[in-house]
Structure 1
Amino acid sequence: MYQVGEIVEMKKKHPCGYNRWKIVRVGMDFRIKCTYCGRSVMIPRKKFEKNFKKKL
Protein backbone atom coordinates (compact mmCIF):
# COMPACT_ATOMS: atom_id res chain seq x y z
CA MET A 1 0.00 0.00 0.00
CA TYR A 2 2.72 2.47 0.96
CA GLN A 3 6.00 2.56 -0.94
CA VAL A 4 9.36 4.18 -0.31
CA GLY A 5 9.68 7.43 -2.25
CA GLU A 6 5.98 8.38 -2.24
CA ILE A 7 4.96 11.88 -1.20
CA VAL A 8 2.08 11.94 1.30
CA GLU A 9 0.09 14.64 3.04
CA MET A 10 -0.51 14.27 6.77
CA LYS A 11 -3.28 15.79 8.93
CA LYS A 12 -0.86 17.48 11.34
CA LYS A 13 1.76 19.95 10.16
CA HIS A 14 5.45 19.79 10.95
CA PRO A 15 6.65 22.67 13.19
CA CYS A 16 8.16 24.29 10.06
CA GLY A 17 4.56 24.73 8.80
CA TYR A 18 4.56 22.16 5.99
CA ASN A 19 2.51 18.92 5.92
CA ARG A 20 3.98 17.08 2.91
CA TRP A 21 6.30 14.18 3.64
CA LYS A 22 8.40 11.70 1.65
CA ILE A 23 8.34 8.09 2.84
CA VAL A 24 11.91 6.92 3.47
CA ARG A 25 11.31 3.60 5.30
CA VAL A 26 8.29 1.27 5.55
CA GLY A 27 7.74 -1.47 8.13
CA MET A 28 6.41 -1.61 11.68
CA ASP A 29 7.73 1.94 11.95
CA PHE A 30 7.72 4.54 9.21
CA ARG A 31 10.51 7.03 8.62
CA ILE A 32 9.18 10.11 6.87
CA LYS A 33 11.11 13.18 5.75
CA CYS A 34 9.68 16.70 5.54
CA THR A 35 9.86 17.85 1.92
CA TYR A 36 10.35 21.49 3.00
CA CYS A 37 13.02 21.49 5.71
CA GLY A 38 14.47 17.97 5.29
CA ARG A 39 13.99 16.83 8.90
CA SER A 40 13.14 13.13 9.24
CA VAL A 41 10.86 11.57 11.85
CA MET A 42 10.26 7.95 12.80
CA ILE A 43 6.69 7.08 13.80
CA PRO A 44 4.81 3.82 14.49
CA ARG A 45 2.65 2.40 11.68
CA LYS A 46 -0.57 2.83 13.69
CA LYS A 47 0.08 6.55 14.24
CA PHE A 48 1.08 7.02 10.58
CA GLU A 49 -2.14 5.42 9.34
CA LYS A 50 -4.21 7.50 11.78
CA ASN A 51 -2.65 10.80 10.67
CA PHE A 52 -2.44 9.95 6.94
CA LYS A 53 -4.54 12.24 4.74
CA LYS A 54 -3.75 11.47 1.08
CA LYS A 55 -1.09 10.51 -1.47
CA LEU A 56 0.21 13.21 -3.80
Structure 2
Amino acid sequence: MFLSMEGPTDRDPGAVCLHLCVEGGGEARVRIASDDARLWAKLLKMAAKKVES
Protein backbone atom coordinates (compact mmCIF):
# COMPACT_ATOMS: atom_id res chain seq x y z
CA MET A 1 0.00 0.00 0.00
CA PHE A 2 1.28 3.44 -0.90
CA LEU A 3 -0.22 6.80 0.03
CA SER A 4 1.01 10.18 -1.11
CA MET A 5 -0.24 13.72 -0.76
CA GLU A 6 -0.07 16.17 -3.65
CA GLY A 7 -0.74 19.89 -3.63
CA PRO A 8 -1.85 22.47 -3.17
CA THR A 9 -0.88 23.81 -6.58
CA ASP A 10 -1.03 27.24 -8.18
CA ARG A 11 -4.01 26.07 -10.25
CA ASP A 12 -5.90 24.76 -7.20
CA PRO A 13 -4.49 26.47 -4.08
CA GLY A 14 -7.31 25.42 -1.74
CA ALA A 15 -7.16 21.68 -2.34
CA VAL A 16 -4.98 18.71 -1.53
CA CYS A 17 -5.07 15.45 -3.50
CA LEU A 18 -4.46 12.09 -1.84
CA HIS A 19 -3.20 9.27 -4.05
CA LEU A 20 -3.61 5.71 -2.76
CA CYS A 21 -2.20 2.61 -4.47
CA VAL A 22 -2.68 -0.94 -3.22
CA GLU A 23 -1.09 -4.23 -4.20
CA GLY A 24 -2.86 -5.90 -7.07
CA GLY A 25 -3.34 -2.73 -9.08
CA GLY A 26 -5.96 -0.79 -7.16
CA GLU A 27 -5.57 2.98 -7.28
CA ALA A 28 -7.58 6.00 -6.15
CA ARG A 29 -7.14 9.77 -6.15
CA VAL A 30 -9.20 11.95 -3.85
CA ARG A 31 -9.36 15.74 -3.89
CA ILE A 32 -9.98 17.32 -0.49
CA ALA A 33 -10.83 21.01 -0.43
CA SER A 34 -10.53 21.58 3.28
CA ASP A 35 -8.28 23.04 5.95
CA ASP A 36 -8.20 19.55 7.48
CA ALA A 37 -6.74 17.84 4.40
CA ARG A 38 -3.22 17.58 5.81
CA LEU A 39 -4.58 16.04 9.01
CA TRP A 40 -6.56 13.48 6.99
CA ALA A 41 -3.42 12.61 5.02
CA LYS A 42 -1.45 11.99 8.22
CA LEU A 43 -4.24 9.86 9.67
CA LEU A 44 -4.50 7.77 6.50
CA LYS A 45 -0.73 7.23 6.42
CA MET A 46 -0.82 6.05 10.04
CA ALA A 47 -3.68 3.67 9.24
CA ALA A 48 -1.84 2.32 6.18
CA LYS A 49 1.23 1.56 8.30
CA LYS A 50 -0.89 -0.37 10.81
CA VAL A 51 -2.53 -2.39 8.03
CA GLU A 52 0.87 -3.33 6.59
CA SER A 53 2.18 -4.47 10.03
TM-score (norm 1): 0.42
Normalized per residue, the structure richer in helix is 2
Normalized per residue, the structure richer in strand is 1
TM-score (norm 2): 0.43
